[in-house]
Amino acid sequence: MNAVAETVIAEERRRHGRWSVTGAYASVEGRRLPLIDISIGGFLVRLPEDEREIGTPLEGTIYWKGRDELIEFPFSADIVRRLHNGQSIAAQFQALAGESIDNLLRFLSAIEAERHQRVENQQRAAEHRILCRKLGLWGVVGGSVLVALYLFWVFGLSGN
């Protein structure tokens, strides 16, 4: 099966929207594993050189530090897939209850809020660059017009 077909099949298995995340990690048995993405149903984490089988349970805590807060929540999950030539695992959360659900939703909301803030900052920066370019262009045009008028006044009126 080719890579495109495998990607389509993997996409079809997903039941929940996923959030790509940076700066988040799962702590499992004292190992700090970088999160690639997360959803309400589970997460994808880099776990190189590990021989865990599909169906193996994972217990740990997920951490994420945003600009304003640190969010952490304990989880129980099962490995459901190995991806990227065994370098990553997809894990499905076991039944979440009460505070765990609240913390997961708070975690996802915080990721989304920071993503929106980042996009807004990028848009403002792009608008600022465009404004500076326009001002620079109008400055060059205005300066050129003034130089042309001056030259016309100096040389055009005197007849030299």
SS3 assignment, position 90: strand
Instruction: State the chain's mean pLDDT as an integer.
Output: 79
Return the pLDDT at 16: 56
pLDDT in tens, 46-62: 876 777 778 888 888 88
Contacts with 84 (C-beta within 8 Å, 6 or more apart), sequence order: none
Q: Give pTM, 2 decimals.
A: 0.59
List domains and CATH numbers for the chain: 3-119 (2.40.10.220)
Could you tell me if 106 and 71 are in contact, meaning their C-beta atoms sit under 8 angstroms apart?
yes
Q: Is the pLDDT of residue 134 over 70?
A: yes
Average pLDDT for 27-40: 83
Cβ(137)–Cβ(129) below 8 Å: no
Q: What is the pLDDT of residues 76-130, one digit of tens each?
A: 888 888 877 777 888 888 877 677 777 777 777 877 787 788 889 899 999 999 9
Q: Which residues of 56-92 are buried (b: 16+ CB within 10 A; e: fewer)?
A: eebebebbbeeeeeebebebebebeebeeeeebbbbe
CA 96 to chain CA mean position, Å: 25
